[in-house]
Amino acid sequence: MGPRIPSAVRRLSNALCFGVARSDCVTFKEIDRREELSYKEFEEGYLYANRPVVVRGALRKWRALSRWTPEFFKTEFGGILTLF
């Protein structure tokens, strides 16, 4: 048995699928969870097939996780004035 899906998420899924053939509507239970998915596997199995997938651990080796510190942003962009 997979993870329990909260009722609010289930209701949202049903609302998004309103008026759509059930075979064309992806439910939350049907979303694959993959780890160490190559780009080729992603392309063939998910991208071109228009299927959602949760890729676990995809950011572990992402350089920004160790590089993007407050000090980095201060050094690189501290002199830029931004207006909101």
pLDDT at res. 31 = 86
Which percentage of the chain shows pLDDT scores above 90?
Answer: 42
The number of residues in the chain equals: 84
Instruction: Answer positive or negative: Cα dihedral of 83, 62, 47, 13.
Output: negative
Task: Name which of 39, 37, 12 is nearest 26 in CA terms.
Answer: 12
d(CA 53, CA 43): 11
- 84 pLDDT band (50/70/90 cuts)? confident
pLDDT at res. 69 = 95
pLDDT at res. 15 = 65
- 24 pLDDT band (50/70/90 cuts)? low
Q: Is the pLDDT assigned to residue 4 strictly greater than 60?
A: yes
Structural tokens at position 4: 């329990």
35 contacts 55 by C-beta, under 8 angstroms: yes
Whole-model pTM: value is 0.48
Task: Name which of 30, 24, 26, 28 is nearest 7 in CA terms.
Answer: 28
pLDDT at res. 25 = 66
